[in-house]
Structure 1
């Protein structure tokens, strides 16, 4: 019987575990370093944390949820959805919680995993599903260690933190900041937002789902599937805009511009992006600009010079006193699998293989690392639609790969196949669509290793069938 080890119990790990079990592979173990499932939805508990993709699409196609309370559900609801999926799909017996995998090594016939407690276990197939958003980034700002108040990253938010009456400094204006700031602006004495680059935004048409809608969802599943299809079509339009299709781009660009015009007021110039739409994730919000205009919120666009015990100094000479400093600075998305040490065939270290930037055929498999198939690997991030859609595509491909391993023995992708795919990705990602995007998402060598350059439907099609000619027996 073919055994499979999955590392990580977020959306990706749960999708892989369920589809493998549904395909008849029962020897599946999901290792999770924390004491609960959920991944980023377990770790991010800051005020206002919510999904920015509509719930009908930000959920599994095989586990549609009739009980969402609103179109863009908050973090606790998404976490509970994942917990319920684990229970309802019968995955609990396959979970090993509080079990951190620190190393994985190919023995020539299997993967030997080493856990933090020193124990080991061997499996035929390894599926790392640790995600791209698990390692928070803390910028190197002079004097940061001197700050006398409390410091936190949004990914490490302590629910015991009370912002009431406090002077809060928020560094960053990305996806977490545009949710956090409106949530605390009415309670904190003052919120100072330090902006390096203004984000592109679109209106977030949230709405609550009442009792009648939830009852219809439960008894008429076609309603949920229709909502999912409608949401998908909307992301097709925004996706075409991100990819530079002229008509779609003009339309989405106009909507974003009108939102700033009506909501930003006197701050309009300060919050207008100076880079092409699509270089960074377009953010959905209904209250970001209104929050920035609130009486006790201050937007600072000058560069941060240093941090002292009392607060933040900017290049214009201003001093911004703070009691609480929040880093809303995102994650090291280009550092895949760290700090997990992975050793492949002939003692090859994955960290060395990826020294100039991570790569993988279809974002899933790497030459020299037999029977290893990644979830949410290099070049599989999406800037406009649901990453859960990509997770399901990858999980379906992995099911085919495990079937092939069970029938033929160890598989390793051919180096020329992986090199060809990587060359295509880099060519498309550094082409005209991304002209003017500077170095976002790039490694020090200039490679783009996170984003997928095409429509989501293209990725689904390219991962729909595993081609055995892409592989050689290991």
Structure 2
């Protein structure tokens, strides 16, 4: 845990404490004063509901004032001398503090994860790693494909371990999806302080950041960790081949001018992501439309002039739900074509700015930021997992899968009804018939209120033909438009495509995966493809919550554990054993069979053409956290390097 010392209490601190989250302040007070009474008795807050931060803790004003007064004194003292009375709380106390601050029982087996997230063990910060450094062998190099979040995550860890690396990025700038997605209303539906590297805080301006601020954050991280000079922009990998004789990878790349080159590396790490191949419907006349017609991921940098225009928006996923409210005030009319309604939850801090003084507290007082982040993580974490489990005895008539899931359905239904107001006639079109969490739970940014506006029309169905001045939908109706925005998602099941990857004996990855049936051990490694690692691989996206960045950090935590063991033992090549890979994926499929995404009537982008769930991870986040904690070298077939005997003798 980072400490500070020798600073006077800043003049903005009183304003920050007056606006700070009460349950978080109480946890900070326990650390700073050593008095656990701040999470006992009259200071115990009410249960946190839904995605609300419960800023006042549900406590009387007088109790809140007492906590804030004590926190102002204790934090001011910390700014002066950096002292923390309780530097290393016990696991039992950490779990108790977390439970009290949220108003629910957190199981004891989360203690190690809580300690890690509070950086009491150093966390993922490269500079705080407790393991002894093991230098890579001479000539060992890494090639990272992609300079999005995955690529940055890998680069930072490689640099800290002394591994020479380079990054090739097909786009002209870093940031991945946050460089590409510039459509109106583009933002993240994970809280800003959770959607950031645990070791790289940022002074976020909003609780849920917009795409431009997230991109600025990623650029800041790249500069902070000196990553940018390692990136070659405008360079795309078309093919990667494992050279069994040289025991290295060869990667064919092409730049924006068409120049070709072959790069070599000891290991390849793919950070190409999944949401990078925009999907447009295969319908007649796509090139016939005479006005602007754009996919949200290819929205022009300068934007579109939609003032007074008839706009057609196709889709109703996260992108569509962000676009519609953002443009509704500009357009003459907005027609939304939607095939399947989505479950949508409220999030009270949508578009709210973080007061400047509170921004500074979050940036400069690690204990406050880490506890605030930890509390956020639970709402977007395993708290929801029980709602995903199918109860074979439950008769939900296809609309729910267990009692908890049904309670979510009732609560979300009531919320939708309240948002529609007098437009209850829209309820049959917007109320899903499948169980909550069957598709990714979306967060409401004014979607239903937008649908209820008089110049907005909701059409249930699909576009079947594009005309010069509009579209025809599956009900045979024609809808005139001056501009079309396609919010039709991405091809996320054909992972790594169109890049071709060849492993041992010339085997090809996409043939092994039968196209869209991707499988990997821990979503990271595939047998027959030595020294090849994939971040955000198959079955790594949590369907019940979590932050993608947390997933990537854990994958890199595992990769670095494996690499350190390789270096320490003189191992040059690792190839995950087939039986280890197959047993893991059998467990993935077995667990999925009892969850909501395989329930009859539930469909979506997480399934491939064979009906298998290839995107979502079926395990609790704590389970994956443990699985990725320490790599087991015996899970791999290994090839020792030339210097292995000398290293063994030295040990």
Q: Which residue of 1 aligns with 2:235?
A: 99
Whether 2:329 is the aligned partner of 1:165: answer: no
Whether 2:225 is the aligned partner of 1:89: answer: yes
Q: Which digits, 9 at most, give the CA deviation of each residue in 1:118-142, with x for residues without a partner?
A: 1111110110010011101111122
Q: Residue 373 of structure 1: SS of its match in structure 2?
A: strand
Q: Residue 617 of structure 2: SS of its match in structure 1?
A: coil
Q: Which digits, 9 at most, give the CA deviation of each residue in 1:77-116, with x for residues without a partner?
A: 0000000000011212322222211111100100011111
The number of residues matched between the two structures is: 472
Matched ranges for 1:5-404 at <5 A: 5-25=143-163, 27-65=164-202, 67-108=203-244, 109-116=247-254, 117-160=259-302, 161-206=304-349, 207-236=352-381, 237-243=383-389, 246=402, 248-264=404-420, 265-266=423-424, 267-355=426-514, 357-383=517-543, 384-404=545-565
Q: Residue 182 of structure 1: SS of its match in structure 2?
A: helix
Q: CA deviation at 1:432?
A: 4.8
- Larger mean Cα displacement after TM superposition, 392-401 or 311-320: 311-320
Decide whether aligned partners of structure 1 residues 437 and 421 sit closer, same or farther in structure 2, where only a CA change above 3 A counts. farther
Q: Indicate conservation of the 8 Å contact 2:408/2:436, yes or no.
A: no
Q: Which digits, 9 at most, give the CA deviation of each residue in 1:55-98, with x for residues without a partner?
A: 11111101121x11111010000000000000011212322222
Q: CA deviation at 1:307?
A: 2.0
- The equivalent position to 1:455 in structure 2, one of 616, 620, 632, is 620
Q: Could you list the runs of 5+ residues in structure 1 that have no partner in the other structure? A: none
Q: Residue 57 of structure 1: SS of its match in structure 2?
A: coil
Q: Which residue of 1 aligns with 2:55?
A: none
Decide whether aligned partners of structure 1 residues 85 and 248 sit closer, same or farther in structure 2, where only a CA change above 3 A counts. farther
Q: Indicate conservation of the 8 Å contact 1:205/1:286, yes or no.
A: no
Q: Indicate conservation of the 8 Å contact 2:345/2:412, yes or no.
A: yes
Q: CA deviation at 1:223?
A: 1.7
Distance 1:162 1:277 in 2: 37
Q: Residue 380 of structure 2: SS of its match in structure 1?
A: helix
Q: CA deviation at 1:401?
A: 2.5
Q: Which residue of 1 aligns with 2:86?
A: none
Distance 1:241 1:70 in 2: 29
CA RMSD of aligned residues (A): 1.6
Q: CA deviation at 1:317?
A: 3.3
Distance 1:153 1:292 in 2: 21
Q: Which residue of 1 aligns with 2:583?
A: 420
Distance 1:104 1:56 in 2: 36
Q: Residue 459 of structure 1: SS of its match in structure 2?
A: helix
Q: Could you list the runs of 5+ residues in structure 2 that have no partner in the other structure? A: 1-137, 392-401, 640-651
Q: CA deviation at 1:289?
A: 0.4
Q: Indicate conservation of the 8 Å contact 1:240/1:455, yes or no.
A: no
Q: Indicate conservation of the 8 Å contact 2:438/2:603, yes or no.
A: no
Distance 1:317 1:453 in 2: 40
Q: CA deviation at 1:437?
A: 4.5
Tell me the TM-score normalised to structure 1 length. 0.96
Q: Indicate conservation of the 8 Å contact 1:238/1:252, yes or no.
A: no
Q: Residue 390 of structure 1: SS of its match in structure 2?
A: helix
Q: Which residue of 2 aligns with 1:467?
A: 632
Decide whether aligned partners of structure 1 residues 225 and 255 sit closer, same or farther in structure 2, where only a CA change above 3 A counts. farther
Tell me the TM-score normalised to structure 2 length. 0.70
